[in-house]
Amino acid sequence: MKTGASIWKTLRTLLGDLPEVECRWHEPLASYTTFRVGGPAFCLARPQTTDALVRLVELVRSCQVPHFVLGGGSNLLLPDEEVKAVVIQLEQCASDISVAATGDDGKAWLAVGAGVRLARLQRYCLQHRFGGLEFLVGIPGTVGGAAFMNAGTGAGSMADALLWVDLLDGENRRQRLPQTTLSPSYRSLGLPDESVILGCGLAATVCAPDRQRASLSRLLRERKRTQPWQMPSAGCVFKNPAGHAAGALIEKAGLKGFRIGDAEVSTKHANWIINRGRARSKDVVALIEHVEACVRQHYGIRLEREIRIVER
């Protein structure tokens, strides 16, 4: 394999020759993340079919270059400089929602592509009177990203509704893994990091629209009341340590409103860092490290990051 600059030059030619893959070279990524932070990517690749995705993943793996899937960009912090990686979006090749099966008991199995936005899934459920997934309301991102990190709230998590997950494994093999074969935990579905989720099956129930809308409204009001929705952010920065709430620890350490540059610990929820307008990735990283040091100093607790930080 070629090394250094030569591999990127060769890779550009190889990617450009792939059928059914849209390549955007040096595409600025800030607008693709909820933090509104990030430099350009070497290549933003958008496969149009599952077969095209498989060919793309096989290529970047064979070239041994960094790559990752970018969903809704809601749990992600990208560097300010160019991201030397192939960034893959699934919104074109994994965007279907269908009813895989229904039962006489009012239950249904939904087959949902990994590139489907969670907000779109909620609209589909409302339109077809499917309940059971209301806990996802207000969470930005895609089904694939939510499944991989077992996203959720106090009202439930992806593992609670998951029936199966379809993926490409590290050997580029397509697999369907039943939920019973997985080992989900807090903010993890237990999948290897190299897995590329294609879609998943989710359990739902037929319900009355009025009751469903009331549940969605209640959950949404609570999220807006307790979280700084109006500002760019990446959601919760840290996982909750056992027996503690990360936000409470940060607040008790006196860090609400603490700023580095335009990155600020939210005054509404201390486990959120917000972008006040011109925050840079280095500001956010410095603030995360400061919060970690203060909590460790005050309470002897090491916070574990929930947010994914991509290195240059």
Catalytic residues: 187, 236, 306
Token pair 């509704």 is found at: 161
Token pair 């600025």 is found at: 28
C-alpha span between 259 and 247 (Å, rounded): 16
Instruction: Look up residue 244 and give its amino acid.
Output: H
**Residue 160 burial (C-beta neighbours within 10 Å; 0-12, 13-18, 19+):** middle
**Residue 20 burial (C-beta neighbours within 10 Å; 0-12, 13-18, 19+):** middle
**Which of 216, 234, 230 lies closest to 123 in space, CA to CA?**
216
C-alpha span between 105 and 107 (Å, rounded): 6
Q: Are 177 and 212 in contact (CB under 8 A)?
A: no
Token pair 């019973």 is found at: 180
Backbone angles phi, psi at 189, to 5 degrees: -95, -5
Q: 188 is written with which tokens? A: 């993890």
Instruction: Look up residue 8 and give its amino acid.
Output: W
Question: Of all helices (H) and strands (E), which one includes residue 294?
Answer: helix 281-299
Paired residues of 152 in beta bridges: 157
Beta strands 156-157 and 152-153 are antiparallel
Paired residues of 102 in beta bridges: 108
